[in-house]
Structure 1
Amino acid sequence: MLSRMLLLLLSLSLFSSASSLSCRWMEHKFLQHSNKSLDLIERMARNSTNTTEDAEVNFPHRLYNQASKAAAEDKLVFTVQVLEEMAAMFEEDHSNASWEESTVEHFLMVVTQQAHGLHSCIKSHGHKKQNKKLLMYFKRLSHILEQKGHSAASWELIRKEMETHLKRAEQLASSLLTSST
């Protein structure tokens, strides 16, 4: 009897941990927002006359690899941090970029909605510690922009980096959709 109860409790805990992140927003809105943000950032490139400056950026592949091995909630926390840092980046002076202002504003709106939606799926809703290495990476990008005077070319570099982030963040969050179904 005790072993049956233990097996039942174990099954329930495994089921609840697998389904804990199957919130409605993830199931119904995440991919829609993700596709829209990628479309908008690609549209910014099509409207761009910018060339890319050579700068040492070092995309944080290692951080994404670590996040992909983390618990489901930690994956979401990481993805939310990426989206929030990205939105903050585009709040900086991008007037030298040749992007249409309405496209940038729409992009910011979609990314912010995506971050809020994913945050609503985090069960603890507490403030987990931010990934300090990711924070330092975004500060380094901001510093590159400042060094280059927020030039059109430096913004194109940032845009390309953010496009890669959107793709990697989508993969990370999408892994939660396939593992919870």
Structure 2
Amino acid sequence: MDGRKFLSLFIICSAQDFCEGCDWIQRGFRLVGGESLSLLSDMGGDITDDKVPVPFPKTLYRSIRNAEMDDKVKSLHEAIDQIIELFHGNLDAVTWNMEKVEHFLTLLHRQSRELEKCVSSASKYERRLDGYFRKLKNVLKQRKYDAHSWELIRKEVKRHLQRLDLISAAMKTPAN
């Protein structure tokens, strides 16, 4: 590639903050996300109907869905990283299939790595996402990481993964 073509590509990519590996969102994110959702459901049987003590951030996800492409990608990345961090808590009380839990986490780590290629900085929604997930972590700590609190977390993570899937489905990659 000659210098002018490279410079043009660099300028286009910089202006869009969305290039190269980011087309993975359309090719791979939803596929891996679907498998993650399936594993989340399968690893522990039926998901509880009990109410989660932390309200789901519907308005935050509405804002992210209507955000610029760059903030959408950054928010996908941040939410996946927050979910990964949640699952690094004490899992001793759960009766889940740990092989499926490990596979689930491996898929989340893959999504995070691929999205990281598209992200240059944090989104404007980072603090709100962080605050929400901190509240979920507090639920686990307050309940001493008991099996029921983990089931509530699993339920909530499923809702997040479903929202992330909807956001990624609505994203369009730039024309090649």
Q: Could you state the TM-score of these two structures normalised by the residue count of structure 1?
A: 0.79
User: Aligned-pair distance for 1:69?
Assistant: 1.2
Give the C-alpha shift of residue 45 in structure 1: 3.4
Unpaired runs of at least 5, structure 1: 1-11
Q: 1:67–1:75: 8 Å Cα contact kept in structure 2?
A: yes
Report percent identity of matched pairs: 28
Cα-to-partner distance string for 1:112-148 (whole Å, 9 max, x where unaligned): 11111122123xx245566211111111111111111
Counterpart for residue 35 of structure 1: 34
User: If the length of structure 2 is used for normalisation, what is the TM-score?
Assistant: 0.81
- Could you say which residue in structure 1 is the equivalent of 2:87? 90
Shift in Å, 1:28: 2.3
Q: 2:133 aligns with which of 135, 138, 158?
A: 138
CA contact (8 A) 1:18 1:180 kept: no
SS at match of 1:45: coil
Question: C-alpha separation between the residues in 2 aligned to 1:80 and 1:117?
Answer: 9
Deviations, residues 136-170 of structure 1 (Å, cap 9, x unaligned): 11111111111111111110000000000000011
- Aligned 8 A contact 1:52 1:156 in 2: no
- Residues paired across the two proteins, number: 163
**Residues 35-71 of structure 1: CA deviation (Å, up to 9, x unaligned):** 111111011232x6x8666542100111101111111
**Does the CA-based 8 Å contact 1:21-1:73 persist in structure 2?**
no
Q: Which residue of 2 is the match for residue 160 of structure 1?
A: 155
Supply the AA of the counterpart residue of 1:105: E
- Aligned-CA RMSD value: 2.5
1:167 to 1:51, Cα distance in 2 relative to 1, 3 A: closer
CA 1:69–1:21 in structure 2 vs 1: closer, same or farther (change >3 Å)? farther
Flag the 1:72–1:44 CA change in 2: closer, same or farther, 3 A: same
Q: Relative to 1, partners in 2 of residues 1:37 and 1:29: Cα closer, same or farther, differing over 3 Å?
A: same
8 Å Cα contact 1:21/1:176 also seen in 2: no
Matching residue of 2:22 = 23
State the match for 2:98 in structure 1.
101
